[in-house]
């Protein structure tokens, strides 16, 4: 994908403390490099704490508090993983509604690792084919998803991936999906 293929596309990155850092920073860099405008959204203001597996890593400035974020202002959604991040975020009703609104509008959603927990709690996974970190496959299956063990899976307006090792494939498919949705929007 060329440098400016996503020029001006606004991508919401929704997470909270203890997200898996590489699953936010590496896709964010890929999106920024493709010309997208990425906005870090969290249930609180200030900073969010990243982790590298089970160790605290860097903190990142929140761009917009979830209560002030409107799904209508965004063209796509990125959901990083990290078990504690995803477990806390799935309990946020505003986060669930944000994801529902993005999906209702058929805007693309990219989700990795434990990130699908929010989509499960939002009631969005029934009938979807997707992947995730292997430890939450039962949650996805029980919520009606068809879970597969592949590095990346595209299903309609969603792309999902398993873990940090899969980020190169995830980024490639995310950028392609977001670019295709941009093309449909312009048509």
Kindly give the confidence (pLDDT) of every residue in the chain, 187 residues in length, as a single tens digit, with 9 standing for 90 and above.
445 689 999 999 999 999 999 999 999 999 999 999 999 999 999 999 999 999 999 999 999 999 999 999 999 999 999 999 999 999 999 999 999 999 999 999 999 999 999 999 999 999 999 999 999 999 999 999 999 999 999 999 999 999 999 999 999 999 999 999 876 665 4
Domain membership flag for residue 1: no
Active site residues: 114
Domain membership flag for residue 4: no
Our count of domains for the chain comes to: 1
Q: pTM higher than 0.75, yes or no?
A: yes
CATH number for the domain including 90?
Answer: 3.40.50.880
Strand runs labelled E in the chain: 10-14, 19-20, 37-42, 47-52, 55-61, 64-65, 76-79, 109-112, 129-130, 146-147, 152-155, 158-161
Query: What tokens does 99 get?
Result: 């994801």
Range(s) of the domain holding residue 58: 10-181
Dihedral angle sign, alpha carbons of residues 103, 105, 108, 110: negative
């Amino acid at each position: 994908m060329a440098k400016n293929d996503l020029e001006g596309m606004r991508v919401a990155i929704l997470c909270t403390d203890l997200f898996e850092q590489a699953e936010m920073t590496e896709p964010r860099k890929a999106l920024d490099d493709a010309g997208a405008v990425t906005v870090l959204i969290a249930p609180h203001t200030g900073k969010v704490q990243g982790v590298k597996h089970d160790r605290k890593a860097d903190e990142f400035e929140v761009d917009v508090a979830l209560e002030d974020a409107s799904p209508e202002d965004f063209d796509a959604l990125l959901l990083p993983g990290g078990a504690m991040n995803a477990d806390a975020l799935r309990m946020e009703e505003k986060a669930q509604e944000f994801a529902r609104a993005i999906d209702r509008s058929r805007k693309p959603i990219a989700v990795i690792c434990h990130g699908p927990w929010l989509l499960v709690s939002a009631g969005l996974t029934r009938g979807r084919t997707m992947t995730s970190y292997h430890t939450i496959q039962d949650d996805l299956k029980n919520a009606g998803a068809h879970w597969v063990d592949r590095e990346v899976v595209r299903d309609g307006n969603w792309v999902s991936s398993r873990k940090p090792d899969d980020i190169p494939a995830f980024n490639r498919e995310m950028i392609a999906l977001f670019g295709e949705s941009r093309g449909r929007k312009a048509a």
